[in-house]
Structure 1
Amino acid sequence: MRTTQFLMLIIFLSFNTVFAQQNGHRAPEATATEAELSFRDIPYLKEAFIDAAPTDRKDGIPVGELGIDGGNKAVVLKLAQEITDNNDGKFDSFLIVHKGKLLFESYYLRGRIDLPHFQASATKTYTSMALGRAIQMGYLTMNDLDKPLVSFLKELDPSKFVEGVELITLHKALTMSTGIRIPEEQWEEFRKDPSKIKGQQQVQAILEHSAPITPASQHFLYGTGPGLVMQVLEAVVPGSAKDFIRNELLDKMGITNYVWRTQPSGLPEAGWRTNMTSRDMVKWGTLAMNKGKWNGEQLVPEAFLAKATSRILLTGDDDVYGGGKDVSKQGYGYYWWSADLKYGDKTYFSRSAQGGGGQYIILIEELDLMIVVTAHNNDNRTLQIIAESILPAFIKK
């Protein structure tokens, strides 16, 4: 009986997908009113949009058909129906790319194909890629990653620094291992008078008020790294970091419908407060999957990406964001997370951009597989769902 019901479900969903396309039904787009709303005020979709043969929108993303160009269609559609029926993870979009083609695209709740979704800490990954672009263009070198970060910032007064500042390298900033420790009360003081942290004054203030930097303090701790990296980018590229990111990365990938806010220093945000559409998240993931190339042009050095997406640090399995019983060995690179995903008796190494609320760009190179997710629930199980419900659809038995 269950098998019959399941087959009927797949036939129904498959028919609806084809029927929707034949009748011109398109992925949900934001109305003019919705485009002006804050994310929390965007109304939920009345019905989910599930497409196993995504439309070619001439946006630089090749498309294909799930089941024909790869993947087990029945397995993926079963998951899509489960999300539709009981969306505890508050998914807004779920996309799958296999062998370079977008094979599955779905939107739920506050998801809209043309509405840039908040990215939270996935922004850190984009900052890492921007630094890689500066290396590719010769404004920095791979060797510079091991130099003191302050050596790139010429407007600072080292005589006022706390001890040990020279231990903070770009590598340490990129791995959240700066060793900087500032009481919350001091951060509040910074916020009260933003004029004192404009430009490189931001770094000056941080390095004056931190506890001394020591090898012991330079362990992994989510903190001030991204802002420091953006300061270096601003210092070494011609013009501004904002224009550099737009001209040398976003424009080249055809990303025009986005939000990238400004931090109190006047520089682009580095750790959060960007918005990207789900399809543009696919573009960032494609750049990484293609080892830094976009349309044949090397935008980010392959060597930098290899290091950025590697498991430089093991961060432990006590609190894996989006994890579960089949997710282990959580690690961190240059603002990229990593974890082993288990299915059956084998594990698959995954790399991911991650943002609070449930933003993910998950890459599994062994399967030539990318999953893009947006959501608005910090208590999500996304990596576990990938392990138990997506891996089996792309693993050949």
Structure 2
Amino acid sequence: MSRLPRSTPEAQGLSAAALGSFVGALDAGDPEIQTIMLLRHGHVVLEEAWAPYRSTDRHLLFSVSKSFTSTAIGLAIDAGLLSLDDQVISFFDADELPETISDNLAAMKVRHLLTMTTGHSQDTVEALSRDRRMVKIFLGLEVRHEPGTEFVYNSGATYMLSAILQRLTGETLLDYLRPRLFEPLGATEATWQVSKEGITVGGWGLSIDTESMACFGQLLLQRGQWQGTQLVPAEWFEAATSKQVPNDNEENPDWKQGYGFQFWRGRHNTYRGDGAFGQFILVLPEYDAALIVTSATTDMQAILNTVWEYLLPALEGKEVPAAERPERLVLAPPAGPAPAPGDGTTYRFSASNATGLTAVRLDVDGTGTFTFEDLQGRSHELVCAAGDWREQTATDPIDDAGPDTGPDTAQRVLTSAYQDGDAFVATFRWVETPFVARLACRTDGDTMTIDGELNVSFGPTGISLTSDK
């Protein structure tokens, strides 16, 4: 059921043709767009999904999650549970603190976690994410600089905000936000990854659908008010989305306009929550508009460049460059001849590979059955065949050597296959994430080799596997 009112673009002062050019430009660009939704004056005036993606599916938000964590901290501050100037070390027990507490660690405050100015010289998340003692490890890391003096993007800092909230409330971050934010917004589908020590990870791992993202964007535009109720203090969103610290050391133009409390400032007086591979809640307050994007790209700046070139002039009532919008927005399966018949042999692989693939069987009917082991050690079979996308359900097996693995829930997977010379080529789309895997399988007697790639990854994208003997 829709939670936001729908409207024609014209009724909200926009040109449908101009928005069509914006969609056409997104479709023609290199970044793969999966869903978009545009709000103007509180109404949805544009909503698109590139099939097989759907706006109603949960989508892994990566670091957009941080903006929701910020919101929880704002609520907790309003409830009198903590303040911006509380020492970080004050929330934790002696057995979690280092034997010697440095002056810089002692000086680290809640506001430094929020503004990514903890004093660390690099993101701490890689040191934390593979261990069960993430809090203890964070507190034991060297704090090289005086807190508050240097911006260093730090997902580990957001994890610590979640840990602090859990210590204060006895609830996980997700449980704390459910009655205060997610349920009022209708985002009851929300899931959020939990660490090995039982803490909602905070800086990543939240999954909600496109309209829930849009509801949060509208909440930001309304400064925390929703259907007549002030869900979040207006003062918190005013501070959180304002420039709190400079971040001129960042490279791309929309990432060096200042940083708030877990929100990025952008060009044209905008602010946003954004996540790896092109997830955006982009708020344009001067135009009473918010744009939601889910996508799969390593060039997030390219998406924002398209926004400034096509959408911004549409909001300003200016001429928009022409770009043809296709009749159907679709990410088609790779084209090619039907796979050649196999012989039914099962080839097995070590489950420690980055894809979680443990077995492949190519059958005489030209189908391939691929067995994946998820991060909980459970097996899922996915069948690949020629033609249109085949829809199945499994948990995401991809361990991409990065912090942004998704929640442990079943999700839609789309598969297809074709023959390329001597290779059976299988494609997998985990459509509740950005991830797409392409695997070219070749057999030689009792051995199968697989060469492939992931479309996006925090680590290497190439895949090279050889079956076990």
TM-score, scaled to structure 1: 0.73
Indicate yes or no: 2:90 matched with 1:163: no
Instruction: Give 1:29-68 correspondences, 5 Å limit.
Output: 57=1, 59-68=2-11
Indicate yes or no: 2:157 matched with 1:215: no
Q: Which residue is equivalent to 2:85?
A: 146
Q: CA deviation at 1:231?
A: 1.1
Q: Which residue is equivalent to 1:131?
A: 73
Q: Which residue is equivalent to 2:217?
A: 285
Does structure 1 retain, via aligned residues, the 8 Å contact 2:116–2:153?
yes
Q: CA deviation at 1:218?
A: 4.6
Q: Deviations over 1:68-125 (max 9, x none)?
A: 22212111101212333x2411000121100111111011155212111111111111
Secondary structure of residue in 2 paired with 1:387: helix
Q: CA deviation at 1:396?
A: 3.8
Q: Which residue is equivalent to 1:314?
A: 246
Q: Which segment is superposed worse, 215-224 or 270-279?
A: 215-224
Q: Take 1:158 and 1:339, find their aligned partners in 2: how far apart are those partners?
A: 37
Number of residue pairs matched by the alignment: 315
Secondary structure of residue in 2 paired with 1:280: helix
| Pairing partner for 2:284 from 346, 364, 367 | 364
Q: Which residue is equivalent to 2:42?
A: 100
Does structure 2 retain, via aligned residues, the 8 Å contact 1:62–1:102?
yes
Q: CA deviation at 1:212?
A: 4.1
Q: Take 2:148 and 2:296, find their aligned partners in 1: how far apart are those partners?
A: 33
Q: Deviations over 1:173-213 (max 9, x none)?
A: 0011111358989928x73x52xx1xxxx3233222x1245
Judged with a 3 Å threshold, the aligned counterparts in structure 2 of structure 1 residues 267 and 78 are, in CA distance, closer, same or farther, namely same
Instruction: Give 1:246-261 correspondences, 5 Å limit.
Output: 246-261=178-193
Q: CA deviation at 1:217?
A: 8.3
Instruction: Give 1:178-327 correspondences, 5 Å limit.
Output: 178-180=118-120, 187=127, 191=130, 194=132, 197=133, 202-208=134-140, 210-215=141-146, 218-223=149-154, 224-316=156-248, 319-320=251-252
Q: Deviations over 1:299-333 (max 9, x none)?
A: 2111111111001122127522xx5xxx5852111
Q: CA deviation at 1:138?
A: 3.4
Which of 1 and 2 has higher RCO (CA within 8 Å, sep 6+)? 1
Judged with a 3 Å threshold, the aligned counterparts in structure 2 of structure 1 residues 216 and 228 are, in CA distance, closer, same or farther, namely closer
Q: CA deviation at 1:155?
A: 5.8
Q: Which residue is equivalent to 2:383?
A: none
Mark the runs of 5 or more structure 2 residues left unpaired by the alignment: 319-469
Q: Take 2:125 and 2:76, find their aligned partners in 1: how far apart are those partners?
A: 35
Indicate yes or no: 2:322 matched with 1:379: no
Q: Which residue is equivalent to 1:83?
A: 26
| Pairing partner for 1:173 from 113, 129, 137 | 113
Q: Which residue is equivalent to 1:115?
A: 57
Q: Take 1:126 and 1:184, find their aligned partners in 2: how far apart are those partners?
A: 20
Q: Take 1:177 and 1:270, find their aligned partners in 2: how far apart are those partners?
A: 17
Q: Take 1:155 and 1:172, find their aligned partners in 2: how far apart are those partners?
A: 21
1:94 is matched by which residue type in structure 2? I
Judged with a 3 Å threshold, the aligned counterparts in structure 2 of structure 1 residues 110 and 89 are, in CA distance, closer, same or farther, namely farther
Q: Take 1:109 and 1:185, find their aligned partners in 2: how far apart are those partners?
A: 34
CA RMSD, aligned part only?
A: 2.5
Q: Deviations over 1:220-275 (max 9, x none)?
A: 11222101100111122254433212222211211012321111221112111221
Mark the runs of 5 or more structure 1 residues left unpaired by the alignment: 1-56, 341-347
Q: Take 2:125 and 2:117, find their aligned partners in 1: how far apart are those partners?
A: 22
Specify which structure has the higher proportion of strand.
Answer: 2
Q: CA deviation at 1:379?
A: 1.2
Does structure 2 retain, via aligned residues, the 8 Å contact 1:62–1:100?
yes
Does structure 1 retain, via aligned residues, the 8 Å contact 2:250–2:256?
no
Does structure 2 retain, via aligned residues, the 8 Å contact 1:91–1:109?
no
Q: CA deviation at 1:146?
A: 1.4
Secondary structure of residue in 1 paired with 2:17: helix
Secondary structure of residue in 2 paired with 1:64: coil
Specify which structure has the higher proportion of helix.
Answer: 1
1:149 is matched by which residue type in structure 2? V
2:217 is matched by which residue type in structure 1? G
TM-score, scaled to structure 2: 0.62
Does structure 2 retain, via aligned residues, the 8 Å contact 1:133–1:249?
no
Q: Take 1:91 and 1:183, find their aligned partners in 2: how far apart are those partners?
A: 28
Does structure 1 retain, via aligned residues, the 8 Å contact 2:25–2:306?
no
Q: Take 2:286 and 2:125, find their aligned partners in 1: how far apart are those partners?
A: 46
2:8 is matched by which residue type in structure 1? E
Does structure 2 retain, via aligned residues, the 8 Å contact 1:135–1:301?
no
Q: Take 2:124 and 2:73, find their aligned partners in 1: how far apart are those partners?
A: 28
Does structure 1 retain, via aligned residues, the 8 Å contact 2:120–2:145?
no
Judged with a 3 Å threshold, the aligned counterparts in structure 2 of structure 1 residues 283 and 156 are, in CA distance, closer, same or farther, namely farther
Does structure 1 retain, via aligned residues, the 8 Å contact 2:84–2:110?
yes
Q: Take 2:217 and 2:76, find their aligned partners in 1: how far apart are those partners?
A: 19
1:250 is matched by which residue type in structure 2? F
Secondary structure of residue in 2 paired with 1:390: helix
Judged with a 3 Å threshold, the aligned counterparts in structure 2 of structure 1 residues 249 and 182 are, in CA distance, closer, same or farther, namely same
